A and B are shown apart, each in its own frame.
Chain A
Amino acid sequence: MLRLNGITKVFGGLTALEDVSFSVDGGSITGVIGPNGAGKTTLFNIVTGLYTQTAGDVYLGEKNISFFETESLAGLGLVRTFQNVELFAQMTVLENVMVGLHTGSKSGIFSCAFKLPGQIKEEKYIREKSLEWLAFTGMADMADRKAGNLPFGKGRLLEISRALAAKPKIILMDEPAAGLNSRETAELAVLIRRIRETGITIVLVEHDMDLVMDICDAIVVLNLGKKLAEGTPREIQENPEVISAYLGDG
């Protein structure tokens, strides 16, 4: 589904990522873990076209998307969420999700201004699809609220709802559990599993080890910009290198 091949990123003199390669199977939940500064978010930024890698290639399916612009990726089925929750704060919850359907609709400025019949139909479709996704994530009762006024946990949920509305093949989630309490984290685990059941592949960067070990099929460990290990949760838990990276060499 997603394949990274020899990704290297150098910022000035600092090597943030060095020759990182791994692939994500379609329909899996893959966790990318590692201590702070390991380069996890940098990796997501490269995959989503926000940064350009110094070397290496990114493949989505068979397609080399290494130098694709960010805005073209949603249409190819790749979306992401952000560590710091990037909502459209002045818009309602429903409108946020409706933006998720931007790539799934095509009315231009002219047909929107003149409300041509095709646009009215499309607008209705956008609205109903968005409501379906809000019901899926359990936020339909908040549809009218301003996104900027949501509590943090709900903001996270809204970001995921919005990403789902883009009908992705794969979602990258950057620390989806950060800032959530234990009940919200448990609900998130259930939601992520339900998303996978709809056939969507999920890659997540996460610090919450319990969550990662619980829901991931495969885990990639980064340390200081290099891939340290890769395998099933059990293999990772027993890997001595991973243990020493996390706990220090002692």
Chain B
Amino acid sequence: MSTTSASGAAATAAAGFDSVPVRRSPLARFTKRAARHPGFMAGAFILAVILVMSIGAPLFTTHDPYAQDISKRLIPPIWHAKGTWEHWLGTDKLGRDYFARLLYGGRISLMIGAATVLLSGAIGTALGVAAGFFGGRVDMVIGYIINVRLALPVVLVALAVAALVGTSLNTVIVVLGLLLWDRFAVVARSTTQQIAHADFVAAARAIGCSTRLIVFSEVLPNIINPLIVVATLEMAHAILLEAALSFLGLGVQPPLPSWGLMISEGKQYMFFSPWVITIPGVALVALVLGINLLGDGLRDVTAPDNRS
């Protein structure tokens, strides 16, 4: 085929749509829009810093987060008059380096957030897509299940189950994963409802695609953007809940350096050494703020209505 006829065909095809031809790829468009969104950039920056610091923790500190030294208990951080550069964020009640614990604790928060969202996202998306795609009685039943889930008090049920099956990192992930799927289901349901009646779904059905193929190759790719936004916000939610459970003693167990647990362990010393709760608290706020900003930014950046 000669080049002239190919470009001629392209020209005819382009003339079929009365819009300007797309100059940028979706990815390029995304990065351009993201770069102009201050919230998105701030969130991405905070999250990137925390990710690098926690994953590369051994590169940033030579201290072992579990090494106790009773002779160096509750050393204040460097901005305090008695601070030392050796432990620049101070030490805890057992003389463990606070900076090292903070870095390794970040790993726990990030892991719990990610693992919980994978589990809850899978449950919620499956339920929501089924409800939105099949409608009718399936929709009614799933709507009912969502209502039941929303009525259960999350913190109370999570605490009770953790106390029953035994507290551990895995328990926290599974319990939170089984509880936090509601928003995924609600969003997946409403977005699938909009897609289910689109022409391309009818076309896929007409050429004989199986339901499974339609769901995986037509529906899911079209609802993934709002689900990613939900995933970021739920990740922040899961991290806050893990901290609360650990604070109440039924989440991550000592000697693991969970930020919630660090605050719980520091509670009895906070009157004379307030930094033992300030430091992990500020870390939690920064992480959750970063994730929320990124999520809100993603919603704006991927929203189809301002695609102009």
Pairing of A with B: no
Seen from chain A, the residues whose Cβ lies within 8 Å of a Cβ on chain B are none
Chain B residues near A (Cβ < 8 Å): none
